[in-house]
Chains A and B, each alone.
Chain A
């Protein structure tokens, strides 16, 4: 076990990682269960945030700034992904109502 000294009190590193795991699991559940493409994108954002928390936690544990830099890069990727995903959704919604991802199966062949 390993603890972080934060403001004089000791907090286990694994607590932060457990919170990150729980949030990631919630995001996975959202992607698997929900049918609205917009909510699926939101759940992916949730998973990215959970991954960022894990990166920053390890950065603090190893006292190495690289994890935080990587978290910033990951935020950039998340922003780009959200922009392109939302543009595709708007383009689809312009021609029809896609309230269910199963309605968008033309590429299945």
Chain B
């Protein structure tokens, strides 16, 4: 059963990923990315990461993607112009990407997985309780830095999108 769920979600994710890079209108790319994120959230649930699953749907598919949709709605339907120059670029990047995929495949064939050091308590693995205990004890400092990062990003976005009165 879990195997079937894995393969259905994986197929959805890969098809959505192909859609992201092949649709010519940005809004379709964004909607394909939403499909990828929903499929990936199913994979997170299979990996018993319940909290990451919820955050993936609420924050990523919910907030970040809506932000992308807002920007596309603001900018209007921009279509990509087919340019004649640098056509070899597509072939070159296709070759590069195939080599990269081959490298990753070879790496996955030879990898030796480390086994878990100690048996974790799988009944609380991935729950809000376990995540919160990690965030507020061991990783308190990175967690606080994250809040500063978000504050800086918010200030930067406000600064960049302000009306320039002095330019008029």
Contact = CB atoms under 8 A, between A and B. Distances in A.
Interface in B22-74: 26, 29-30, 33, 36-37, 40, 43-44, 46-49, 51-52, 55-56, 59-60, 63-64, 67-68, 71-72, 74
A73 B146 contact: yes
Given A53-B43, A56-B44, A72-B52, A26 B64 contact: no
Interface of B: 1-3, 6, 10, 13-14, 17-18, 20-21, 26, 29-30, 33, 36-37, 40, 43-44, 46-49, 51-52, 55-56, 59-60, 63-64, 67-68, 71-72, 74-75, 78-81, 83, 86, 89-90, 93-94, 96-97, 100-101, 104-105, 108, 111, 113-120, 122, 125-126, 130-131, 134-135, 139, 142, 146, 149-150, 152-154, 156-157, 160-161
Given A19-B43, A100-B81, A7 B1 contact: yes
Given A26-B18, A80-B152, A87-B161, 9 more contacts: A6-B47, A23-B17, A26-B17, A45-B33, A57-B47, A59-B47, A64-B117, A69-B131, A99-B80
A4 interface: yes
B29 A91 contact: no
10 contacts: A6-B2, A14-B111, A18-B108, A26-B17, A46-B36, A59-B47, A72-B131, A77-B149, A83-B157, A87-B157
Contacts of B21: 26-27, 29-30, 33-34, 39, 43
Contact of B126 (A6, A27, A32, A68): A68
Given A11-B3, A34-B80, A86 B67 contact: yes
A18 B78 CA distance: 34
A100 B18 contact: no
B139 A21 contact: no
A97 B75 CA distance: 9
Interface in A50-98: 52-53, 56-57, 59-66, 68-69, 71-73, 75-84, 86-91, 93, 97
A8 B78 contact: no
Interface SS majority for chain B: helix
A91 to B, nearest CB: 5
A32 B29 contact: no
Given A30-B21, A34-B80, A100-B81, A42 B100 contact: no
A69 B139 CA distance: 8
A55 to B, nearest CB: 9
Contacts of B150: 76, 79-80
A57 B153 CA distance: 29
Nearest 8 Cβ contacts at the A-B interface: A32-B93, A80-B153, A26-B17, A2-B113, A30-B21, A63-B120, A87-B160, A63-B116
